[in-house]
Structure 1
Amino acid sequence: MAALAAVGLAATAEVRAQDASPPPVKNVVLVHGAFADGSGWRGVYDDLTGRGYRVTIVQNPLTSLADDVAATKRALDRQDGPAILVGHSWGGTVITEAGVDEKVAGLVYVSALSPDAGETTAQQYDGFTTPPEFVIETHADGFGIIKPDNFKAAFAADTSDADAAFMRDSQVPIKMSAFGTKLEHAAWREKPSWAVIATDDKAFDQKMLQAMAKRMGADITEVPASHAVFKTQAKVVADVIDEAARKVSPSSQSGTASSAAGGTSQ
């Protein structure tokens, strides 16, 4: 019995040592979506840096897909090793194109778009119904914002009135023609992918989010949240990023998704 107990204690110690071991990927690059900027990632940033990750936040100009990809690649160039690349909403399109970079070990889509090579972002909406709350006003210069009167219901229903007002009034317009640009690459076909789906998202049809994630073979996590899930559920998002970093290794860059059929955790 004493021998068995000793074996059990040794095994427990080994498991604890493995749990405490640092992930093989310690860099994280966060890419925001349309109508927002990188400051919305603050909660995720604080959580991940507290866990020992080196986090870089991209500031997309939102002037074209090429410009946003270039901004993301500049961030990737500054990494000192492999990185998890994370995108929210339109940022998913950006990481899909930019994620073929050799430094990207895995992809995390946070209520995000994920076109295939040869597809446009706009095509992802075909066959799905956008919730009526989400209304974009396009101005004469071709840039669009979420209709201010609709902003909280459409983007940030689970934030306070004050936070929603600040996000509404600090919107970053996006050049609407970006949604019509065909992608040259689909990084999720080469890299393991994870998807966080906000179940109260009013920017996308839920069936659309599920269809995109399942096509990627992404490991799916669902969470009750608005489209501002990257802000309102920062710990859940950080947990998924941490999981991705622990499951990938530098050699997995040419691998397939960690769960080919896609898994769901509640």
Structure 2
Amino acid sequence: MTMNRRRFSTALVAGAAASLISTRVTAATATSVKAGNIVLVHGLFADGSCWSEVIPRLQAAGLNVTSVQNPLTTLPDAVASAQRVLDRQDGPTVLVGHSFSGMIVTEAGTHPNVSALVYVAARAPDAGEDYTALAKTYPTPPASAGIVFDGDEGRLTEEAFLRDFAGDLPEAKAKVLYAVQQPFHKALLTGKTTKAAWRSKPSFYAVSTEDRTINPDLERFMAKRMGAKTIEVKASHLSLISHPDEIAQLVLAAAGQRD
């Protein structure tokens, strides 16, 4: 169904009333099939538990939710991990990616079970596009300076994690997330998508306006290029944890569960 901007905005504000945050919605026409399944994919410096605030909100709406454990080894490995989960879904499924996993959503989103795509402060390359080269056309975000390598494995320092990755979370909560940070392999960053699912599937995008991991203007560019239904949340890179109501409402809209 075609989404009405005013009604969509009202739903978002209602869902986020407790957060005292202004969320701006960009009008873009997106038609979504009603979906009963949600597949969530995490990015770098995280594991599947980063969706722990969003999952119960989606389950409360009666949706079947699965959080993929991204192996963080190579892009083909990561895409395969998502595809295996998508294969198990019964009926229309919304595929949601945060941060790096936008690469996975873009590639795996052509799966026949996928009815819509949601990008949360995520990479959204075109087919064959060099995302690193695209990112370099914007100011480098501060978190990049905090990546350290142990051989082929990369991770964020604790200082960068707390300040630049999870900057709007209480320190105690951010430290728990830091403790479960999974290192990524250098080979993961060399992968390029071979297709762009957002060219054929309804797409939704949540921009983090205070993001210090991906430049917010780059996020806006990618969202506009794909013609996504877009919201802007005054949040760090981890809007899915600091503002789960807004993110859950966007996913529900992609699932055709909200007008």
Which of 52, 61, 68 in structure 2 is aligned with 1:58? Answer: 68
Q: Between Structure 1 and Structure 2, how many residues are aligned?
A: 226
Asked whether the 8 Å contact 2:207–2:230 carries over to 1, the reply is yes
One-letter identity of the residue aligned with 2:35: V
Partner of 1:218: 228
Asked whether the 8 Å contact 1:28–1:55 carries over to 2, the reply is yes
Q: CA deviation at 1:247?
A: 7.5
Q: Secondary structure at the match of 1:52?
A: coil
The 2-side partners of 1:57 and 1:193 are apart by 19
Q: CA deviation at 1:78?
A: 0.8
Which of 66, 90, 96 in structure 1 is aligned with 2:100? Answer: 90
Q: CA deviation at 1:133?
A: 4.3
Q: Secondary structure at the match of 1:135?
A: helix
Partner of 2:11: none
Q: CA deviation at 1:172?
A: 0.7
The 2-side partners of 1:120 and 1:28 are apart by 28
Partner of 2:39: 29
The 1-side partners of 2:136 and 2:160 are apart by 23
Greater length-normalized contact order (CA 8 Å, ≥ 6 residues apart):
2
Q: What are the ranges of 5 or more consecutive residues in structure 1 without an aligned counterpart?
A: 1-22, 249-266
1:4-19 aligned at under 5 Å gives the runs: none
Asked whether the 8 Å contact 2:143–2:164 carries over to 1, the reply is yes
Which of 147, 152, 161 in structure 2 is aligned with 1:137? Answer: 147
Say yes or no: does 1:80 pair with 2:90. Answer: yes
Q: CA deviation at 1:165?
A: 1.2
Which of 188, 207, 225 in structure 1 is aligned with 2:217? Answer: 207
Partner of 1:3: none
Q: CA deviation at 1:33?
A: 0.7
One-letter identity of the residue aligned with 1:118: G
Q: Secondary structure at the match of 1:203?
A: coil
One-letter identity of the residue aligned with 1:141: G
TM-score by length of 1: 0.81
Compared with structure 1, are the counterparts of its residues 133 and 74 closer, same or farther at alpha carbon in structure 2 (3 Å cutoff)?
closer
